[in-house]
Structure 1
Amino acid sequence: MPLSPPSEREALHNRQYDFRGYRRADGLWDIEGRIVDTKTYGFDNEHRGRVEPGTPVHDMQVRLTLDDSFTVRAVEAVTDSSPFAICPGATPNYERLVGMRIAPGWREKLRQEFGSTGGCTHITEMLMAIGTVAFQTIIPIKSRENAPDKARSDKKPRLLNSCHAFAADGPVVARLWPEHWTGGEEKSAS
């Protein structure tokens, strides 16, 4: 269902996020993100001079290389467009991610490490979303590959109680993981 029709308005700002997940030939995973901000109007910028409509105000990219345990093995961050000449100076700080693991608490770790002057707001925002993209990339593939492994079926699914759809007492869990379902009698899955 789409949003309701808006009031009359003028478009001013556009932010585009693009996230992609890749399986590498060496068995590792690359998760990449890009943010591009543009304006519909031109403006003067002390660092860049005139920024014309549609020209990126922000254009930043990040790549995390992960292993199967979601541990960051390598990171690369770049700032191609920014409102200040100093902005790209924050990108080397993201090397501190190497050795960290995407797991519960990932967003808080990012806030602690890069939430103020230690990082770039936009790159840090992308890294918060990249955690979810990593799970969406890696978990389905690993689950398919491990499907015949019955020993894993007794483990609590990572997604259990992670959102409304995966509530332990809900119909999706009743269908996917009946051994972990905590609902009543009815197990209708939708």
Structure 2
Amino acid sequence: MHSTTLPRPPRSTANPAPARVAGSVRRTTSIDVSWPDGVEGQRLFIGAARDLWTPVAGEDGLTLAEARFEVRMTEDKAITAITAEPAPEGLQRLVGARAGGHLRMLLREVMPDLAARAHPLYLVLDDLSGTALVSAFAWSQWYPDWAERLRQRLGEEQHAQLMAQRVNVCWGLQEGNSGVQPGGVPKDVASADAGDVRNPLDPQGWHELSDRDGAGFRRARRIDVTRDEAAGVIRIDSAFQDSATRPEGGRVAIHEYNLRAVADIATLEVLSIEPEARILPFSECPGAIHNTQRLVGRNLGEIREEVLAQLRGPEGCTHLNDALRALADVPELAARIAS
């Protein structure tokens, strides 16, 4: 099916975040990417995360955990330097690793305690791979001819190889779809205003973000968790957004999902999942939502593994999968409310 027969992709942000509700735990994470040494220099990744408990709506919350890191990374996604607070044992073993599936496996190997405790540092480090994959998108907002510049820098052969590798990596880039046509990527892949995740009516609702001048990229996520003891369920309201700065100010988003889910308090069985595509680059992308129902009936604590098993490659959306995988930390967040 040609893209001209499909509706336009969704391009409307849900920002800002809703105000926190009483009795909830909110996890917020962000990774901001910049190029201090110019477009061909190494990227600087600044990650931050916080878990905030809100006993009473409208009042200050209590910080349960927080984390921060800085990473330097080459253009081919190799980590050259890393610092973090807290600084877990084994952190420096990440130097030399390349962002991607291997890095995620290495994280679980060298930081099993962080993973087991669902510490926010683990989640934001896990997000390095997805952020590294998408962050160069920021330059397309600063150079209208960015795609051609990239082609010239790589050379025709390497550029063609790069484009070929994208085919069937996800639902939206399946062979024949609009994003993988021989003529190249469509020009209008991002036009939606990203808004601001921060709600002026709830100034404590987000941790401090790293706002910088110049070309920059941000991955931001929010996970709100409440326990409904009367119904015997955990309720989840989450959001995920990838955005970039604009020369004229503000931000443009390329990916944004809202995601609601319900799980059984006692068994952690996933009872319902409701993804909402808010901003996506291609008309075909929202179709990935339907396959998420395969996760209903699965165990929430094992959802990282289930996403990889059920929604791999063209069966899912890379960015929706990232939003889903993060829900594996919800049981630990819900337990903190109970305690």
User: TM-score of the superposition, structure 1-length normalised?
Assistant: 0.60
Residues 72 and 98 in structure 1, CA contact (< 8 A), matched pair in contact too: yes
Give the equivalent residue in structure 2 for 1:186.
Answer: none
Alignment deviations for residues 38-96 of structure 1 (CA, whole Å, 9 cap, x no partner): 11137xxxxxxxxx951321110111200021100111011110111111111111111
Give the equivalent residue in structure 1 for 2:336.
Answer: 140
Give, in angstroms, the shift of residue 123 of structure 1. Answer: 1.4
Larger RCO (CA within 8 A; separation ≥ 6)? 2
Query: What one-letter code is carried by the residue in structure 2 that aligns with 1:30?
Result: R
- Residues of 2 paired with 1:86 and 1:118: CA distance? 13
Residues 61 and 123 in structure 1, CA contact (< 8 A), matched pair in contact too: no
Indicate whether 1:58 and 2:276 are aligned: no
Equivalent residue runs for 1:1-190 within 5 Å:
10-24=214-228, 25-41=230-246, 54-68=251-265, 69-103=267-301, 105-137=302-334, 139-142=335-338, 144=339
Give, in angstroms, the shift of residue 9 of structure 1. Answer: 8.3
| DSSP 3-state at the match of 1:70 | coil
Answer with 1 or 2: which has the greater Rg.
Answer: 1
**Closer/same/farther in 2, CA of residues 102 and 11 from structure 1, 3 Å limit:** same
| DSSP 3-state at the match of 1:26 | coil
Q: Runs ≥4 in structure 1, deviation > 6 angstroms?
A: none
Give, in angstroms, the shift of residue 141 of structure 1. Answer: 4.1
Give ranges in structure 1 of 5+ residues lacking alignment: 43-51, 145-190
Identity %: 26
Alignment deviations for residues 8-56 of structure 1 (CA, whole Å, 9 cap, x no partner): 98442111111110223522111222111111137xxxxxxxxx95132
User: TM-score of the superposition, structure 2-length normalised?
Assistant: 0.35
- RMSD of aligned Cα (Å): 2.7
- Residues of 2 paired with 1:53 and 1:112: CA distance? 38
Residues 31 and 134 in structure 1, CA contact (< 8 A), matched pair in contact too: no
- Residues of 2 paired with 1:102 and 1:3: CA distance? 27
**Closer/same/farther in 2, CA of residues 59 and 3 from structure 1, 3 Å limit:** closer
- Residues of 1 paired with 2:233 and 2:316: CA distance? 26
Residues 21 and 134 in structure 1, CA contact (< 8 A), matched pair in contact too: no
